[in-house]
Structure 1
């Protein structure tokens, strides 16, 4: 069982009683033993208690100096940098007089450095602490195991920010397996981080389980809206977005606003808010929030995964807004991850489809095919839908059926829905119509009903083609160029282009092939009439 909040409160009261009785040596000895647990939960109280004890009693004690530093990392603290001078003093004294205390001090210093975005410095402190633990055999076994658990947790958090999710997950699982060695806040942080990693990987059931455990450990002490619980709240928002549970996502915005004031999670919280705006149709707002997220991560050391998340979101939003070149440019900054957790290929393929290049879309998705079952579930649905649309555009109906049906089964298993709204709606409507004509299990049929809404898919046109547009569509079917059509109809090329844009809009198509497929589905008769 982890070291609970209640037990920390009892210990702190006992220490305070000794200090009130002016039994300073006993109070300080108790603080030396318990400060890692107390400082993370009740930092203000710890700091107030120490400063009531005459400074001459503790000025040369590295453990008490470290406790003062760690007190700035308490739940809700926004002044993390104030800890560093205390840790500097504690570290110097420990190196000189108390080397056995140095690993613990280094690990708490690493937590502060990580929260300030100094990931390289944090990693160096953790590495030194682990090296010292390997050397210091004089430590009692329980303390050695506690510090190993804390080192695993700290390294896992650094790797999470780096986007090395598999490695981070392994270390955080190790730390939670040693939960009896951790304080409540540390355990909440590990569980929350595992929830975020699982959400990013598309393992939503596991993410929800870890988030539930984090909430259960945190209780009602505000830990879930501190930097300890922040990753779980961000994970919950990401899942709500992918499942298009818009009310749930919007309801998380106030908590994300609170988390957005914490240095370590400011960028991720703004990213989550941007994702919520994007699925609510507020693309420009989403782009601004993504910009602010990138600004928050600007000074962080090295490659930080939230930057890549923001670039991917920008590519998605720009694609929805129709700025294809900007979407491609944003996609260049996306690191797909080892298992395509973010998948640059889906952004490129989406642009290629809208440019009328389904073969180019499939070429972009080739790297996804190579991953096979190793592809991240989170972005696999996107790639299957894009593959289906491209196959249909190329006339490969059977392969299109297979890809779309796989997408439907995956949507049923994960609850994901947002990738469907990222497709050109004309393509989606036609794929849904074809899927209804195939024999589907009840679970898939329910998803089809959900996706098309309460009414049947309307295959008619709200805005019919004019006679002149029908004529131009006929010429498009004959594979004539814009210049050839203009010459035959004795009109300018600009006029032809205007008509073509109107035709595509009315047919809900993004290219000539898609428009002609739509014509066939509608049963339109294309006849030449005199110009």
Structure 2
């Protein structure tokens, strides 16, 4: 049934996610039809949400927001995806509004609930509240374990690995086991997505204690571009501060 829009959308989503799992962001985007190509609401929403996930993975929150706004989206999933994009953009008030709307939806599914908890955990990480972030992560893992849900965790980003690495104690051992089970038993490694050459250069300047203005002069970039690269580095390394980025990069032998 090659003309079936649902099957065509699912095939495109699968190809895109396979490319994304290998860190090939452009190929992941190219695997998806152009925005507006799908006429029916459900395939259009599936494709838009997948596009948003890819855009977030490569650090473009504006494109992620645009992807979701390009289609008439129903239910909590688009709201949660938008919240993740606004979180990366540094808009915590908007994130709270979107998550409150999503959490109050009668259509909130188990994957949606888990994804919502993970966005809240990421927000806590960025607010430097690791205690709250870890509890939210444990709650998400406990909820996901019975159905062995994987996608919300693989979509969450490398910050999740870094946060889990700091969870200790017998009370959180089941959460660690649930994460490893969801990942097929794979060991925790470095960031899901490698740093680009430019991001490495910016991080090297951060290691030398240079300001954003000094980095811009050194690399002949605008200050806004430097800040964009820094946000992407923080996201990929699962940190929220310069010092933590340098320390994490050293642990992973990025620097």
Normalised by the size of structure 2, how large is the TM-score?
Answer: 0.70
Aligned pair 1:270/2:8, yes or no?
Answer: yes
Q: Which residue of 2 aligns with 1:325?
A: 62
Alignment of 1:431-510 (within 5 A): 431-437=163-169, 439-440=171-172, 442=174, 444-450=175-181, 451=183, 454-457=186-189, 466=204, 468-472=205-209, 475=211, 482-483=212-213, 494=221, 509=236
Q: Which residue of 1 aligns with 2:140?
A: 407
1:249-298 deviation line (CA, Å, top 9, x unaligned): xxxxxxxxxx324xxxx110011112211221255566556438964x53
Tell me whether 1:421 sits opposite 2:154 in the alignment: yes
1:403 CA drift (Å):
1.6
Aligned partner of residue 119 in structure 2, secondary structure: helix
In proportion to residue count, which structure has more helix? Answer: 1
Q: Would the alpha carbon gap of residues 325 and 508 (structure 1) be closer, same or farther in structure 2, given more than 3 Å must change?
A: closer
Q: Displacement, 1:390?
A: 0.6
The alpha-carbon distance between structure 1 residues 449 and 331, as it changes in their structure 2 partners (threshold 3 A), is: same
Deviation at 1:344, TM superposition (A): 1.5
1:279 alignment counterpart:
17
Map 1:48-59; keep pairs closer than 5 Å: none
Distance between the aligned counterparts of 1:375 and 1:409, measured in 2?
Answer: 17
CA contact (8 A) 1:436 1:445 kept: no
C-alpha spacing 1:307/1:321, structure 2 compared with 1 (3 Å): same
Confirm or deny: 8 A CA contact 1:436 1:448 kept in the other structure.
Answer: no
1:94 aligned partner: none
Corresponding position of 1:345:
79
CA contact (8 A) 1:358 1:390 kept: yes
State the Cα distance separating 1:415 from its structure 2 match.
1.8
Equivalent of 1:291, from 17, 33, 45?
A: 33
Aligned-CA RMSD value: 4.1
CA displacement, residues 299-327 of structure 1 (integer Å, 9 cap, x when unaligned): x7xxx433333322332233334443222
Alpha-carbon distance, 1:360 to partner = 3.8
Q: Compared with structure 1, are the counterparts of its residues 287 and 294 closer, same or farther at alpha carbon in structure 2 (3 Å cutoff)? A: farther
| 70, 92, 96: which one aligns with 1:362 | 96
Asked whether the equivalents of residues 290 and 314 of structure 1 are also in contact (C-alpha less than 8 Å), the reply is yes
Match of 1:309 among 46, 56, 59: 46
**Matched residue, 1:147:** none
CA distance in 2, matches of 1:308, 1:328: 13
Aligned to 1:392: 125
Q: 1:418 deviation in Å?
A: 1.8
User: Structure 1 unaligned runs (5+)?
Assistant: 1-258, 476-481, 525-531
Whole-angstrom CA distance in 2 between matches of 1:428 and 1:512: 10
- 2:114 is aligned to 381
**Equivalent-residue separation in structure 1 for 2:229 and 2:34 (angstroms):** 37
Shift of 1:445: 3.0
Tell me the alpha carbon deviations over residues 410-433 of structure 1, each in whole angstroms, 9 at most, x when there is no partner.
2212222122222231x1222211
Quick check: 2:28–2:54 contact (8 Å CA) kept in 1?
Answer: yes
In structure 2, C-alpha distance between the alignment counterparts of 1:289 and 1:490, rounded to whole Å:
37
Task: Return the alpha-carbon distance in structure 1 between the equivalents of residues 55 and 28 of structure 2.
Answer: 10
Other structure's SS at 1:494 match: coil
Query: Per the alignment, in what secondary structure is the counterpart of residue 384 of structure 1?
Result: helix
In 2: Cα distance, 1:523 partner to 1:322 partner: 21
Q: Distance in 1 between matches of 2:16 and 2:7?
A: 14
CA deviation after TM superposition for structure 1 residue 380, in Å: 2.0
Is the 1:391–1:399 Cα contact (8 Å) retained in structure 2? yes
- DSSP-derived class of the 2:145 partner: helix
Q: 1:493 to 1:268 in 2, by over 3 A?
A: same
Cα offsets for 1:189-216 (capped at 9, x unmatched): xxxxxxxxxxxxxxxxxxxxxxxxxxxx
Cα distance, 1:511 vs. partner?
9.6
What TM-score do the two structures reach when normalised by structure 1? 0.37
8 Å CA contact 2:124, 2:132 repeated in 1: yes
Deviation at 1:387, TM superposition (A): 1.0
- Say whether the 8 Å CA contact 1:331–1:344 is kept in structure 2: yes
Structure 1's 321 and 506: CA in aligned 2 closer, same or farther, altered over 3 A? Answer: closer
Alignment coverage as a number of residue pairs:
238
Matched residue, 1:513:
240
